[in-house]
Amino acid sequence: MNPADAMQNWVRHAILWQIYPLGFVGAEAQAGSSPAVAHRLAHLQAWLDYAAELGASALLLGPVFAASTHGYDTIDYFRIDPRLGDESDFDELLQAAHKRGLKILLDGVFNHVGRAFPAFSQVLALGPSAPAASWFRLSWKEPYRSGAEPDYACFEGHRELVALNHDEPAVADYVARVMNHWLDRGIDGWRLDAAYAVPARFWAKVLPQVRARHAKAYIFGEVIHGDYAAIVNESSFDAVTQYELHKAIWSSLQERNFFELAWALDRHNGFLDSFVPLTFIGNHDVTRLASRIADQRHLPHALAILLTCGGTPSIYAGDEQAFCGIKEHKAGGDDAIRPMFPPTPEGLAPQGWPTYRLHQQLIGMRLRNAWLHEARTKAIVLQNDHFIYAAQAGDHCLLVALNLGDRAVTMSAPRAREVLANEARLTRPGKPDAMVELPPHGWAILAC
């Protein structure tokens, strides 16, 4: 078995459960000046059985490294944020997760660092002669005066997020060292934050150094828009985030316009020819689906789409309980979508558990049909408010039937044999002219 096949073996069956740790454990919004460590990672450990019972096979953790505020302003990539705990706490979490068959992926914020990152502090103290000045894209006023601060490239206008100079070989070597350090410690992969802001040629230098030691690691980049396939090819990522499909899912359900979803699924088929995307309907950066879609009867439709499309699906913690939360573009605007969780799952509100059980059902269906990882879709019936598509790979096939309308609808469902999930009525099952009837706002997954 070659290394790529070894990696693909576990990813092909992977369901990620994404957590934003600082919010999840209720950490302070800002790091204190005290070196005291708050051992909060045990809070995450108390949720491992819940994740495994959900059907997850990996935890995708947001930032865990020492930072000043939200975790994306890293200070020390080799130290666990004291607001979460220390390295021993992390090792315990890692061992406990692996004992349950859960892999761990970390968030690598390598486009930028915090202003308190030691190399940048050195620049502020020593000026242009600082040994690490080449790590950043700096512009100094002439003549330089001691104590003067340079202008510098930053992330999307946020001055507290200092952009690294990705043309500096020492930066590439440093990032490879960080990634290998935590893989050596036992993690199973990386999410590369803001990968779209970093030249692909940088990743093409870094990742071979990582894969030489960790061939089974799964490494994907956060990419919002652009030529996904070209970015994967040029960077050597395993995958990128599929924001196009994410938008089409919630938008088509909210606007009752399945033509948008059909278009996005056709695009998705093309991506699958080159790589298998990281798919999602929620994450730590977007408004929760339960707050995005006005008609809550359509939340199951979104999950059915996610779990029958090709891709590596990721569930954002809380979405499996139909959490609400609106992202706002202001200071503290992420707080509602990054809440603290109770100490144990027993503290969750009772109204969320039916959604959890639906996740279990559909994730179980997904895991029993691992071929869905690379499945292509084909529209069978397409109207604004009802849609049926086939998910296919080789000789395998499922039909996904969706109705957003206020009336029952009957659609062609060629060769549909039985209802695998939810409720529908089949006529002439197994025949080329089989039909499926869905109730108002209904959905179903059919074997064919």
- Provide the pLDDT for residue 3: 39
Q: Do 159 and 235 have their domain in common?
A: yes
Last residue of a domain, one of 319, 353, 374: 374
Last residue of a domain, one of 332, 355, 374: 374
Q: How many domains does the chain have?
A: 2
Q: Do 300 and 414 have their domain in common?
A: no
Q: Do 43 and 130 have their domain in common?
A: yes
CA atoms within 13 A on the CB side of 285: 12
Cis-peptide, bond into residue 118, ω within 30° of zero:
no
| Alpha helices by DSSP H, 135-199 | 169-185
Instruction: Report which residue type is found at 228.
Output: Y
Q: Do 317 and 380 have their domain in common?
A: no
Strand-pairing partners, residue 114, are 161
Q: Do 382 and 302 have their domain in common?
A: no
Which ranges of the chain have pLDDT less than 50?
1-7
Question: How do strand 239-240 and strand 65-67 relate by DSSP bridges?
Answer: unpaired
Q: Do 292 and 435 have their domain in common?
A: no
Q: Do 293 and 421 have their domain in common?
A: no
The domain that holds 405 is classified in CATH as 2.60.40.1180
- Provide the pLDDT for residue 143: 87
Residue in 335, 321, 344, 336 with CA at minimum distance from that of residue 43: 344
Q: Do 425 and 291 have their domain in common?
A: no
User: Is 22 in contact with 81 (CB distance < 8 Å)?
Assistant: yes
- Provide the pLDDT for residue 13: 95
Q: Do 215 and 343 have their domain in common?
A: yes
**DSSP string for residues in 105-144:** EEEE--SEEETTSHHHHHHHHHGGG-TTGGGB-EE--SS-
Residue 274 structural domain: 3-374
- Provide the pLDDT for residue 8: 55
Flag whether the pTM goes above 0.85. Answer: yes
Q: Do 62 and 130 have their domain in common?
A: yes
The domain that holds 184 is classified in CATH as 3.20.20.80
User: Is 317 in contact with 19 (CB distance < 8 Å)?
Assistant: yes
Longest dimension (CA), the chain: 84
- Provide the pLDDT for residue 26: 97
Q: Do 363 and 413 have their domain in common?
A: no
Q: Do 400 and 313 have their domain in common?
A: no
pLDDT tens-place string over residues 31-54 = 987 778 999 999 999 999 999 999
Last residue of a domain, one of 374, 393, 420: 374
